[in-house]
Amino acid sequence: MQTLIIAFVVLNFGIIIGWLLGKHHAKSHFREYEIEAKAKADIIKNEAQKLLQEAKNEAKELELKAKSFETIIKDKEQNLERKLRNINEKDSRLDELINRYKNKLSTLTEELSKVASLTKEEAKNLLFKRFKEELQADLAKMARKEIVIAKENAQKFANSALADAVTRYAGEFAGERLINTITLKNDEEKGKIIGKEGRNIKTLEQLLGVDIIIDDTPNVITVSNFNLYRRAIAVEVIERLLEDGRVQPARIEEIHQKVIQEFEQKIYEEGEKVVIDLGLYPMHEELIKLVGRLKYRASYGQNTLLHSMEVARLAKSLAAEMGGDEKLAARAGLLHDIGKALTQDFGGSHVELGAEVCRKYNEDPVVINAIYAHHGHEDPIGVESAAVCTADILSSARPGARREVLESFTKRVKALESIALSFDGVMQAYAINAGREIRIFIDATKVNDDELVLLTHEIAKKVENEVQFPGQIKVHAIRQTRAIEFATKQGELS
């Protein structure tokens, strides 16, 4: 019995302790919930204060904009009031002038009727005719003055539009040279480029169509040619050969082919970047490729791609000032010299070539008109074409943009290559040594050794007759026979 009592007491004591612990645990949870709720309340309060502050800031901005618009409206109202006052003043002066003429006419009419043997009506008609002539003269003078003022205002607007367009776009300028220099790690690399008995440098010059100058200047090789595209490929090929270390004719040909393929892709990417940057996408991929090729074309020493981009931006600004289509003006500006990307391959006028290729790929008639109009072949048909013509003059005529001497030299060396390529049996022709030498590669299957001498003589004679040049030009013809065969060995079948 005593044991039961003890057990009962212990049980009750445990229940009391459990109840107290549960109550304490509940209080702890309640405090945690209370702290969490206060933290969330603080966060909500902070968010509300932040939103309230943002709303206040937006309200202030709207208030400032409203005040700004109010100021603009007040200025316009004041300008309108001034113009109305001026009109009223002119009307008042005109009424005063008319009344003065009427009074003068009446007075003189009475005087003449007294002095002369004319009736009052006859005198009035005579004076009226006289004053009518004077009034017409005054009106004509006023009209001429208004015309002069209108012309001056138009000229001021044109100058303002040009100035605004030019100041909004300050284009970069890079003068094209005729040489590129390649920096070497050491002079031993010059020996690699030359090769045994000059084989490497001969192969390079034959494949690349450039003049490679290796002189006493330490750690430098010079690549010379008027053609930007050839020079760019030559520099890339030589730099890759030096980096690879294996400089030999077979390796040169391999890298040359690889670089040409990469350059074609690079040209497209360059053109695509320009088109996207100017906001002119989409455009036919062939036109994009031609835009990229303009990077390797120069006119009077001015890079044609940079010139076309500059014309596009200036034309866009001018069209905006004159209320034209900005995007169409920029497109016409970029494509106005697109034919220059084709002249080295096809010859002829870049205007006709450019118009033909744009017509082929369904460009807007305004673009084609701008191509013709910027050289005076047609009159501009709209604001956009006129803006391109003006932008072209601004870009090309500014001091230092172009060099006439360089262009005349470039035309002369191009003529040398064209003359050589016009003969049957000529595969390649490169003008090197600043146009003092033509290096010609002959098809050995069409021209034999005896005919080679005669062909070289004929080319030299044609150069003498058709090209103006100082001193002498060396005509260097090379005829090579190359045979390639592959050795194969069949493995044993298992």
Average pLDDT over residues 358-381: 89
**Quick check: 292 and 269 in contact, CB under 8 A?**
yes
Identical fold between 278-402 and 409-480: no
| Confidence at 170, pLDDT banded by 50, 70, 90 | very low
Mean confidence (pLDDT) of the chain: 77
**Inter-residue contact 309 to 278 (CB < 8 Å):** yes
Residue pLDDT, tens place only, 253-268: 888 889 888 888 888 8
Pairing of strands 437-443, 474-480: parallel
Domain 409-480 has CATH 3.30.300.20: yes
346 touches 368 (CB < 8 A) = no
The predicted structure's pLDDT at residue 113: 61
Select from 3.30.2130.10, 1.10.3210.10, 1.10.3720.10, 1.10.630.10 the CATH code of 278-402.
Answer: 1.10.3210.10
Residues 178-224 pLDDT 10s: 678 888 888 788 888 888 888 888 888 888 888 888 877 788 888 88
Contact criterion met (CB below 8 Å) for 415 and 313: no
Please state, in angstroms and as integers, the Cα–Cα distance from residue 227 to each residue in 178, 206, 223, 232, 319, following that order: 8, 15, 11, 9, 35
Length of the chain: 494
Helix (H/G/I), strand (E/B), else coil: 93: helix
User: Measuring CA to CA, how many Å separate 92 from each of 88, 132, 275?
Assistant: 6, 20, 59
Looking at domain 179-266, does it have CATH number 1.10.3720.10? no
**Does residue 299 register a pLDDT over 50?**
yes
Q: Which two tokens stand for residue 371?
A: 């191509």
pLDDT reported for residue 207: 82
pLDDT tens-digit map of 425-481: 888 888 876 677 888 888 888 888 777 888 888 888 888 888 876 667 888 888 877
Alpha-carbon distance values, 399 to 98, 395, 416 (Å): 57, 10, 30
Given its phi and psi angles, is residue 489 left (phi above 0), alpha (psi -120 to 50 degrees) or beta?
beta
Residue 277 in this model has a pLDDT that exceeds 80: yes
Predicted confidence at residue 173, as pLDDT, reads 42
Q: How far is CA 452 from CA 317, 432, 472, in A?
A: 58, 20, 20
What confidence category does residue 369 fall into, taking pLDDT thresholds of 50, 70 and 90? very high
> Hunting for tokens 């003092």 — which residue is that?
436
Is the peptide bond prior to 282 cis by the omega test (within 30 degrees of 0)? yes
CA distance 431 to 227: 10
What is the spatial distance between Cα 332 and Cα 388, in angstroms, rounded to a whole number?
A: 7
pLDDT at 246 over 80: yes
Burial of 308 (C-beta count, 10 Å sphere; 0-12/13-18/19+): buried
Higher per-residue confidence, 188 vs 109: 188
Q: What pLDDT is recorded for position 111? A: 67
CA–CA separation, 408 vs 193, rounded Å? 32
Domain ranges (residues) in the chain: 1-85, 116-168, 179-266, 278-402, 409-480
Please state whether the predicted TM-score (pTM) of the whole model is above 0.75: no
Tokens encoding 30: 């309640």
- Any idea which of 14-23, 151-160, 215-224 has the lowest mean pLDDT? 151-160
